[in-house]
Amino acid sequence: MKQSETQKRQDQAETLLSLKNLKSYFHLEENLIKAVNGVTFQVKKNEIVGIVGESGSGKSVTALSILRLLPTPPCQLSGEIRFQGRDLLQISERQMQDVRGGEISMIFQEPMTSLNPVLSIGYQIAESIRLHQHLQKRSAWDKAVEMLNLVKIPEAARRARQYPHELSGGMRQRAMIAMALSSNPALLIADEPTTALDVTTQKQILYLIKDLQHQLGTSVMFITHNLGVVAEIADHVAIMYAGRLLEYGEVHDIFHYPKHPYSLCLLRSIPRLDASKNLRLEEIPGRVPALNELPQGCIFHPRCPYAIERCREQEPPYTQVDDGHLTMCWRYDQLPQPDKKVSEPANLSAARETSAMSALRVVHLKKYFSVKKIEMLGKAGIVKAVDDVSFEVKQGEVLGLVGESGCGKTTLGMCILRLLEATEGQILINGRDVTSLAEREMTAMRQHLQVIFQDPYGSLNPRMKIGQIVGEPLLVHKLTANPQEKQAKIIDMLEKVGLDRIHIDKYPHELSGGQRQRIAIARALIVSPKIVICDEAVSALDVSIQAQIINLLKELQTTLHLTYLFISHDVSVVKHISDRIAIMYLGKMVELAAAETVCQTPKHPYTQALISSVPIPDPEKKPEYIALKDEIPSPMHIPPGCRFHPRCPFMQERCRTEEPEFREISQGWFAACHFA
């Protein structure tokens, strides 16, 4: 393999941080939890290393171990953490305090948990500067404003006087970055810093981190579960699984020539915006093992499609497969490349058909909330969460509903389910307007209209057994003649969602996240509904489990001829499962067309910006990025004219005053822009 320029540059670079056989073990009662188990890798000066892994992989514990932020006991650290020539495991707590926040800074997913809500942003940054740089109050304040400017917070001097709640999510994360970089650290550890942000804001923050890293020469350890994000930002990538580092290498090699089956399977299991929607996602069977019940031999062997007898008995050692490319697999030299395509089964694609008949029609729907004045948080007003939305879903169709936080997509779903009462408009199911149904009629209607929520744990009663949970809707809708029939239907439904009948007597807490979501699906489908609203139904799942559930939802939709309204913030997932996609912005639908059309040739400027912000899990693919100004305004302060105009790169004078109509710009393709 030809050595790339990046590789050469990195080879010449000096090592800043070097982990050798790092172990973070927790002694909890009878259990020994090996949260980080023998991790070895390096971060060089002026580079970004992406640490990727699913829940429980040990990526965050690795970061906390580096900063010695874990309580000892129960945690016991061993190995070596060499940073700028010193082993951080050997220095005193006093010396470590200088390292934390001085030489190594850390930012987290949720800035609100790190910022003090009763102190201004500027004060908090200035305090951190005074602590580490011993400046006078005035100079520290000036430096704080300078840092806010550096992270591109507009009107930095004014913003410095504001409190955290007065800033948007993206702005707060910028403030956290400003604070973290104010001490001029050699290393910034960023733990899922963009996970809670909308995709357009995420892109802005990724650009900012990359920019600052170049400008200041700071090295970055970027922890994420998102392969697209890592492809976008990292020079080197470490793949972690159940406390082990399974593969480490240059970003190009990891994405194009992975040498570990787990990396390969992860790459094949994610829905991609740049791939055909008829490809089947590769599933990784089973789930990540509990850290106190790790399998013998290779820890990935129970899920590995390439496992051989030897893998079950002997753990593979680290092998250097190429310059700086490490893997932990017996069969690293026999793996295929990740871009092999797996089409969905022919019987499924042939069986998928959409009727011309309408399953759901929403007509001029509005949902307004009045907001009382809350001390400190602002004035009273009206939130126009859904503001005159009309669309139709055909029988057997999947309509994806996409938008960022506050766009109104979930409120729209709740109105259709009548979990919220619409302010105005009609919702027609089988020709009947559900907004005017009496409670008893609505209960009967719910047999045809089911929902699957994001958090299966929150939506399943922890005191009920799985059999009771799945069978309950049969009783509510009086769909069984006797207990035997009910039991048979429950078993049949469990099998349809890929679960064995032995689960009937278990409780939700005894199941994994993926299994719980299967139960939520079984409960929704046991009454043979016609329409299913999937509200962020796969968003809380780890990548390897997400593929299993997406494939399952797709199969069930086809075999049971279901109609889905698939609500999600994730455009790649929505594209994979939907026939058509509707994009919402600030309570309005701004574009609606066939899924491929919306993703490949979007017409509305907001859709264009949204699509251009979606991270692609390929470091070589860098589609043109359309940067948006600022962030989504509050739905209490909707701009006049086109509500997107303050952020639109193509705004003209008339956009300020004239609201564009949501009109058909060509057959079946709708957009709300004067110039589409």
Nearer to ligand SF4, 58 or 193 (CB): 58
Closest CA to 310 of 296, 294, 327, 321: 296
User: Quick one: 143 or 260, whose CB is closer to ligand SF4?
Assistant: 260
Identify the sign of the CA torsion 101, 102, 106, 111: positive
CB of 411 to ligand SF4, least distance (A): 22
Closest distance of CB 656 from ligand SF4, Å: 8
Select the span of 120-128, 163-171, 306-314, 438-446 touching ligand SF4 (CB under 6 A): 306-314
Q: Which of the stretches 269-277, 484-492, 524-532, 645-653 binds ligand SF4 when contact is defined by CB under 6 A?
A: 645-653
Phi/psi of residue 69, nearest 5 degrees: -100, 5
Rank residues 298 and 543 by Cβ distance to ligand SF4 and give the closer one: 298
Of the candidate spans 112-120, 154-162, 318-326, 643-651, the one that interacts with ligand SF4 by CB under 6 A turns out to be: 643-651
Part of the chain binding ligand SF4 (CB under 6 A), chosen from 301-309, 490-498, 510-518, 552-560: 301-309
Judged by CB under 6 A, the residue of 48, 264, 522, 642 near ligand SF4 is 642
Report the alpha-carbon distance of residue 361 to residue 390 in Å, rounded: 8
Cβ 651 to ligand SF4 shortest distance, Å: 4
Least Å distance, CB 197 to ligand SF4, is 22
Subset of 654-673 contacting ligand SF4 (CB under 6 A):
655, 660, 673
In sequence order, which residues have a C-beta less than 8 Å from that of residue 558 and are 6 or more positions away? 348, 351, 352
Q: Given candidates 222, 300, 564, 662, which one binds ligand SF4 under the rule CB under 6 A? A: 300
* Cβ contact 250:41 at 8 Å: no
Residues facing residue 237 across a β-bridge: 50, 249
Among 261, 408, 456, 513, binds ligand SF4 (CB under 6 A): 261
CB of 331 to ligand SF4, least distance (A): 4
Q: How many CA atoms lie within 13 A of 261 on its CB side?
A: 21
Q: Quick one: tokens of 231?
A: 């492809």
Which one of residues 277, 394, 409, 645 is an interface residue with ligand SF4 (CB under 6 A)? 645
**What type of residue is 18?**
S
Distance (Å, whole) CA 173 – CA 588: 27
Report which of 600, 613, 622, 602 is spatially closest to residue 670, judged by C-alpha positions.
602
Alpha-carbon span 196 to 194, nearest angstrom: 6
String of DSSP letters for 458-489? HHS-TTS-HHHHHHHHHHHTT--SSHHHHHHH
Q: Centre a 10 Å sphere on the Cβ of residue 633 and count the other Cβ atoms it contains.
A: 16
User: Would you say 298 or 460 has its CB closer to ligand SF4?
Assistant: 298
Residue of the chain from 249, 271, 316, 396 that contacts ligand SF4 (CB under 6 A) = 316
Q: Which residue has the tokens 């790190």?
A: 114
- Pick between residue 43 and residue 389 the one whose CB is nearest to ligand SF4: 389
Q: Please report whether residue 301 would count as binding ligand SF4 according to CB under 6 A.
A: yes
Task: Answer yes or no whether residue 243 interacts with ligand SF4 by CB under 6 A.
Answer: no
Q: How far is CA 398 from CA 360, 393, 480, 566, 590, in A?
A: 11, 8, 29, 7, 18
Q: Which of 368, 369, 625, 650 binds ligand SF4 (CB under 6 A)?
A: 650
At its nearest, how many Å lie between ligand SF4 and the CB of residue 300?
A: 4
Rule CB under 6 A: is residue 329 a binding residue for ligand SF4? yes
Distance CA 499, CA 394 (A): 30
Binding mask 269-298 for ligand SF4 (x = CB under 6 A): -----------------------------x
Backbone angles phi, psi at 44, to 5 degrees: -90, 165
Residue 440, judged by CB atoms within 10 A of its CB (0-12, 13-18, 19+), counts as: exposed
Pair 362, 391: CB distance under 8 Å: yes
Tell me, what DSSP letter sits at residue 435?
G
Task: Give 675: exposed, middle or buried? Use CB within 10 Å, 0-12, 13-18, 19+.
Answer: middle
Residue of 141, 644, 669, 670 interacting with ligand SF4 (CB under 6 A): 644
Which contacts qualify for 504-508: CB closer than 8 Å, 24 or more apart?
504/465, 504/466, 504/467, 505/465, 505/466, 505/467, 506/465, 506/466, 507/462, 507/463, 507/464, 507/465, 507/466, 508/456, 508/457, 508/460, 508/461, 508/462, 508/464, 508/466, 508/469
Q: Which is nearer to ligand SF4, 469 or 673 (CB)?
A: 673
Q: CB-wise, 378 or 646, nearer to ligand SF4?
A: 646
344 in Cβ contact with 278 (< 8 Å) = yes
Question: Residue 301 — left, alpha, or beta (φ > 0 → left; ψ -120 to 50 → alpha)?
Answer: alpha
CB atoms within 10 A of CB 147: 25
Contact between 403 and ligand SF4 by CB under 6 A: the answer reads no
Q: Which of 66, 234, 304, 577 binds ligand SF4 (CB under 6 A)?
A: 304
- With binding defined as CB under 6 A, does residue 330 bind ligand SF4? yes
Indicate the residue among 523 and 604 with the shorter CB distance to ligand SF4: 604
Give the nearer residue to ligand SF4 in terms of CB position, either 106 or 307. Answer: 307
Closest CA to 534 of 524, 519, 544, 542: 524
* Beta carbon of residue 412, minimum distance to ligand SF4 (angstroms, whole number): 21
Between 261 and 467, whose beta carbon lies closer to ligand SF4? Answer: 261
We find the least distance from the C-beta atom of residue 231 to ligand SF4, in angstroms, to be: 22
Residue 41 or 300: the one with the smaller Cβ distance to ligand SF4 is 300
We find the least distance from the C-beta atom of residue 390 to ligand SF4, in angstroms, to be 19
| Binding piece for ligand SF4, criterion CB under 6 A, among 114-122, 137-145, 300-308, 396-404 | 300-308
Contacting residue, 396, 471, 473, 605, with ligand SF4 by CB under 6 A: 605
Q: In one letter, which amino acid is 500?
A: D
The 92-131 site mask, x for binding ligand SF4 (CB under 6 A), equals ----------------------------------------
Q: How many residues bind ligand SF4 (CB under 6 A)?
A: 27
Binding mask 580-599 for ligand SF4 (x = CB under 6 A): --------------------
Looking at 285-293, 325-333, 423-431, 482-490, which segment touches ligand SF4 (CB under 6 A)? 325-333
- The residues facing 605 across adjacent strands are none
Q: Return the bridge partners of 451, or none.
A: 533
Residues lying near ligand SF4 in the complex (CB under 6 A): 260-261, 298, 300-301, 304, 306-307, 311, 316, 329-331, 604-605, 642, 644-645, 648, 650-652, 655, 660, 673-675
